[in-house]
Amino acid sequence: MYTETLTSTESTSITALTAICADNERSVVSEHKIESSNQMDARTATTKNEDFKSDANYLNSLLIKVAVSQDKEAFKELFTHFAPRIKGFFQGQGSSSDKADEVVQEAMVNVWRKSHLFDPTKAKASTWIFTVARNARIDLLRKENRPEPDFTDPSFFTDSEPQPDEIYERDNEAQRLQVVLAQLPEEQSKVLRLAFFEQKAHAEIAEELELPLGTVKSRIRLAFKRLRKELGENI
């Protein structure tokens, strides 16, 4: 639910960010605990994350440094990590390398410009950067506005303030989602990947796969029935 156009106060992110920087070691330790308590397949899925440099907390801390002190070294590290992935992510059929480069460039400029809106209690760096890149692509390719909710609007959104522990909870949740995603049947995961990589609506996916619309809908619903269980909330 984290969106880049939030008008959140900087202080929330900064406080949370400082907490993350200071507690970086602690959170790495706690992640190991999580891993050992998970099942074996969780281990396989999280192998990638064992490299400290790609550790979610490390990426969060880079983004916080960009937000708090306009740290260009940290920004360069984020660029090195994310730019090739954003390009790979969106370089599906139909979008040329040039277009993908434009999206990457626009997305990374917006990561810099909007970094003060990043709130690690609400999203990991990769989640937030996904939303920034997604919106950059809509902006560049469709030249449209993307209406988004303002989750800081108190008269409509009455969630309680996130607690520092929620940062770790978000990480756990992301890890659990990653495991479940890896376990989804191929036909379900294919639909999700087409949706995200190619920004295709489910009706377009049905056309592309030459499937009845109802089949695509039911694959999406089955996938989220499973994924919902990991979201730990009544949704």
Partner 1 sequence: MNITHRPSDELMLDYASGALSEGWALAIATHLSMCGSTSSLLRGMETIGGILLDEADEACISDKMFGSILDKINSDMISSVGQKKTANDRRFGSVVPQPLATYVGNDLEDLAWKNLGLGVRHLPIELSDKATSARLISIPAGKPVPEHSHSGRELTVVLSGGFHDVTGEYGPGDIQEAYGDLEHQPHARDAEDCIALAITDAPLRFSGIAARLVQPFFKI
Name residues contacting partner 1, limited to 120-179 (CB under 8 A): 122-124, 126-131, 133-135, 137-138, 142-151, 153, 155-159, 170, 173-174, 177-178
Nearer to partner 1 by Cβ, of 21 and 195: the residue is 195
Query: What residues between 14 and 43 interact with partner 1 by CB under 8 A?
Result: none
In whole angstroms, the minimum distance from the beta carbon of 17 to partner 1 comes to 18
Query: What residues between 76 and 115 interact with partner 1 by CB under 8 A?
Result: 76, 79, 82-89, 91, 97, 100-101, 104-105, 108-109, 112-113
Strands (E), the chain: none
Nearer to partner 1 by Cβ, of 27 and 49: the residue is 49
Number of residues that bind partner 1 (CB under 8 A): 86
**Residue 157 identity (one-letter amino acid):** F
The rounded distance, in Å, linking the Cα atoms of 188 and 197 is 14
For Cα atoms 93, 2, 225, give the angle at the middle one, nearest 5 degrees. 70
The contact mask relative to partner 1 for 203-222 (x = CB under 8 A, - = no) is -x-----------xx--xx-
Residue 143 in contact with residue 151, Cβ under 8 Å?
no
Record the tokens describing residue 118, joined without a space.
């990043």
The rounded distance, in Å, linking the Cα atoms of 80 and 126 is 13
In whole angstroms, the minimum distance from the beta carbon of 27 to partner 1 comes to 17
In whole angstroms, the minimum distance from the beta carbon of 134 to partner 1 comes to 4
Nearer to partner 1 by Cβ, of 7 and 93: the residue is 7
Residue found by looking up tokens 């400290």 in the block: 52
Measured in whole angstroms, the distance separating CA 154 from the mean position of its chain's CA atoms is 24
Nearer to partner 1 by Cβ, of 50 and 148: the residue is 148
φ, ψ at 116 (rounded to 5°): -65, -15
Nearer to partner 1 by Cβ, of 30 and 224: the residue is 224
The rounded distance, in Å, linking the Cα atoms of 58 and 64 is 10
- Residue 211: other Cβ atoms inside 10 A: 15
Q: If binding is defined by CB under 8 A, does position 197 make contact with partner 1?
A: yes
Residue 170 in contact with residue 123, Cβ under 8 Å?
yes
The region of 11-19, 21-29, 32-40, 187-195 touching partner 1 under the rule CB under 8 A is 187-195
Candidate list 44, 54, 163, 183; residue touching partner 1; CB under 8 A: 54
Measured in whole angstroms, the distance separating CA 86 from the mean position of its chain's CA atoms is 12
